[in-house]
Structure 1
Amino acid sequence: MTDISLDRATGPAAARAATDFYRAVWRWHFYAGLLVLPFLITLAVTGALYLFRDEIDAIVHGDLKRVAVQTERVAPSAMVAAATAAVPGTAVKLTTPGTPASSAEISVRTAAGDRQTVYVDPYTGTVLGSLPHEGTIMWLVRSLHSLDFLGNAGRVVIETAGGWSILLVGTGIYLWWPRKGRGGAVSIRGKPRQRMFWRDLHAVTGIFVGGFIVFLAVTGMPWSVFWGATVNQWANGSNSGYPSGVFVNVPVSDEHLGHLGETGWSMQQAAVPQSPSQGAAPMGIDRAVAIFDGLGMAAGYAVNIPSKSDGVYTASIFPDDLAQQRTVHLDQYSGATLLDIPFASYGPAAKAIEWGINVHLGQQYGLANQLILLAACMAMVALAVAAAVMWWKRRPAGSLGVPPLPDERRKLAGVAAILAVGGAVYPLVGASLLAVLALDWLVVQRMSAAR
Structure 2
Amino acid sequence: MNTVNAATAADTSVRGGAFYRLVWKWHFLASLYVLPFMLILSVTGGIYLYKPQIESWLYADRLTVAVTGEALPLEDQIAALEEYSGVTRLRGIMVYDDPARTTRVEFNDTDRVRSHAWINPYTAEVLASTPRDATLMRMLKKFHGELLLGSFGTKFVELSAHWAIVMMVTGIILWWPRGKRNLRDATRLPQGTGRKWWREAHLFSGMFAFVLIMPILITGLPWTDVWGGGLSYVQTQTGQKSLSLRFGGAAPKSSASEGDTIAYAQVIEIARDQGIVTPYEMRPPRRENDAFWLRSASVNRYDQTEIVVDRYSGEQLARVDFAENPVVAKTVSLGISLHQGELFGPLNLALNTIAALLGVFLSVSGFIVWWKRRPAGSLGVPAAPEANLSAGMIVTVIALMILLPLMGLSLIFALVLDWLIFRRLGWFQGARPTAAE
State the TM-score bracket (shorter-chain normalisation). Answer: 0.7 to 0.9
Q: Does 1:103 align with 2:92?
A: no
State the Cα distance separating 1:10 from its structure 2 match: 13
2: CA distance between counterparts of 1:57 and 1:387?
A: 33
| In 1, Cα distance between equivalents of 2:64 and 2:147 | 28
Query: Greater CA deviation, 441-450 or 291-300?
Result: 441-450
Tell me the secondary structure at the aligned position of residue 308 of structure 2: strand
* Structure 1 partner of 2:369: 390
- Give the CA deviation at 1:124: 3.2
CA distance in 1, matches of 2:373, 2:318: 62
Q: Using the alignment, how far apart are the partners of 1:70 and 1:236 within structure 2?
A: 50
Structure 2 Cα separation of the partners of residues 388 and 419 of structure 1: 28
Provide closer, same or farther for how the CA distance between residues 302 and 20 of structure 1 changes in structure 2, counting only shifts above 3 A.
Answer: same
1:275 corresponds, among 254, 266, 271, to: 254
Query: Are the aligned partners of 2:290 and 2:311 in contact in 1 as well (CA < 8 Å)?
Result: yes
Return the letter of the residue paired with 2:420: L
Kept in 1: contact 2:92–2:106 (CA 8 A): yes
Tell me, yes or no, if the aligned pair for 2:257 and 2:288 is still in contact at 8 Å: no
Question: 1:23 pairs with 21, 24, 36, which one?
Answer: 21
Which of 63, 84, 87 is the equivalent residue of 2:85? Answer: 87
CA contact (8 A) 1:47 1:145 kept: yes
Per the alignment, residue 126 of structure 2 pairs with 127
Which residue is equivalent to 2:3?
none
In structure 2, what is the Cα distance between the partners aligned to 1:214 and 1:120? 42
Segment drifting more, 425-434 vs 122-131: 122-131
Query: Does the CA-based 8 Å contact 2:254-2:310 persist in structure 1?
Result: yes
| Residue number in structure 2 paired with 1:77 | 75
Deviation track 1:400-443 (CA, whole Å, cap 9, x = no partner) reads: 2111132x654999568547634420111101111222333434
Query: Hey, what does 1:64 align to over in structure 2?
Result: 62
- Preserved CA contact (<8 Å) 1:163 1:422: no
Q: Say which is worse superposed, 433-442 or 44-53, in terms of deviation.
A: 433-442
Matched residue, 2:274: 295
Q: CA deviation at 1:374?
A: 0.4
> Partner amino acid for 2:41?
L
CA distance in 2, matches of 1:354, 1:371: 20
Task: Write out per-residue CA displacement over residues 336-371 of structure 1, whole angstroms, 9 at most, x where no aligned residue.
Answer: 111111112111111111111111111122222111
Deviation at 1:330, TM superposition (A): 1.0
- 1:424 equivalent to 2:422? Answer no
The corresponding residue for 1:439 is 417
Residue aligning to 1:152: 151
Counterpart of 1:45 in structure 2 is: 43
**Which one-letter code corresponds to 2:78 in the other structure?**
V
Asked whether the 8 Å contact 2:103–2:121 carries over to 1, the reply is: yes
Q: Per the alignment, in what secondary structure is the counterpart of residue 139 of structure 1?
A: helix
Distance in 2, matches of 1:125 and 1:435, equals 59
What corresponds to 2:345 in structure 1? 366
**Equivalent position amino acid for 1:139 in 2:** R
Structure 1 residue 383: deviation in Å? Answer: 1.0
In the alignment, structure 2 segments of 5+ residues that lack a partner are 1-6, 432-437
Q: Which amino acid aligns with 2:409?
A: A
CA contact (8 A) 2:252 2:291 kept: yes
Which residue matches 1:198?
198
The answer to whether the aligner puts 1:258 opposite 2:256 as a matched pair is no
Map residues 174-213 of structure 1 onto 2, 5 A cutoff. 174-182=173-181, 184-192=185-193, 194-213=194-213
1:329 is aligned, of 308, 313, 318, to: 308
Give the direction of change, closer, same or farther, for the CA distance of 1:52–1:277 in structure 2 (3 Å limit).
same
Is the Cα contact below 8 Å between 1:50 and 1:142 reproduced in 2? yes
Corresponding residue of 1:219: 219
Q: Following the alignment from structure 2 to structure 1, what is the Cα–Cα distance between the partners of residues 416 and 154?
A: 24
Distance 1:185 1:51 in 2: 31
Q: Which amino acid is the alignment partner of residue 372 of structure 2? A: K
Q: 1:324 to 1:14 in 2, by over 3 A?
A: same
Deviation at 1:308, TM superposition (A): 0.7
Question: 2:190·2:200 contact (CA, 8 Å) conserved in 1?
Answer: yes
Greater shift after overlay, 30-39 or 437-446? 437-446
SS for the counterpart of 2:299 is coil
What's the secondary structure of 2:148's corresponding residue? helix
Distance 1:28 1:320, change over 3 A: same
Return the alpha-carbon distance in structure 1 between the equivalents of residues 118 and 319 of structure 2.
28
Q: Distance in 2 between matches of 1:100 and 1:116?
A: 23
Question: 1:165–1:213: 8 Å Cα contact kept in structure 2?
Answer: no
Structure 1 vs Structure 2 CA RMSD: 2.7
Q: Which amino acid aligns with 2:273?
A: G
Match of 1:82, as an amino acid? A
Give the share of equivalent positions with the same residue, in percent. 30
Work out whether 1:168 is the aligned partner of 2:146: no
Are the counterparts in 2 of residues 273 and 338 from structure 1 also a CA contact under 8 Å?
Answer: yes
Q: Secondary structure at the match of 2:228?
A: helix
Structure 2 vs 1, CA of residues 238 and 277 (structure 1 numbering), >3 Å: closer, same or farther?
farther
Deviation >6 Å, runs of 4+: none
Q: 1:446 to 1:170 in 2, by over 3 A?
A: same
**Structure 2 CA distance, aligned partners of 1:59 and 1:412?**
58
**2:75 alignment partner AA:** S
* Partner of residue 434, structure 2: none
- Note the alpha carbon deviations across 1:103-141, whole angstroms, 9 max, x for none: 211123223222221101223322211111244321121
Amino acid at match of 1:36: V
Give the CA deviation at 1:71. 5.3
| Aligned residue number for residue 267 of structure 1 | none
**Structure-2 separation of matches of 1:148 and 1:282:** 43
Cα drift, residue 186 of structure 1: 1.6
Tell me, in whole angstroms, the C-alpha distance in 2 between the residues paired with 1:228 and 1:351: 15
- 1:341 and 2:339 are equivalent in the alignment: no
Tell me the CA shift for residue 445 of structure 1: 3.1
Residues paired across the two proteins, number: 420
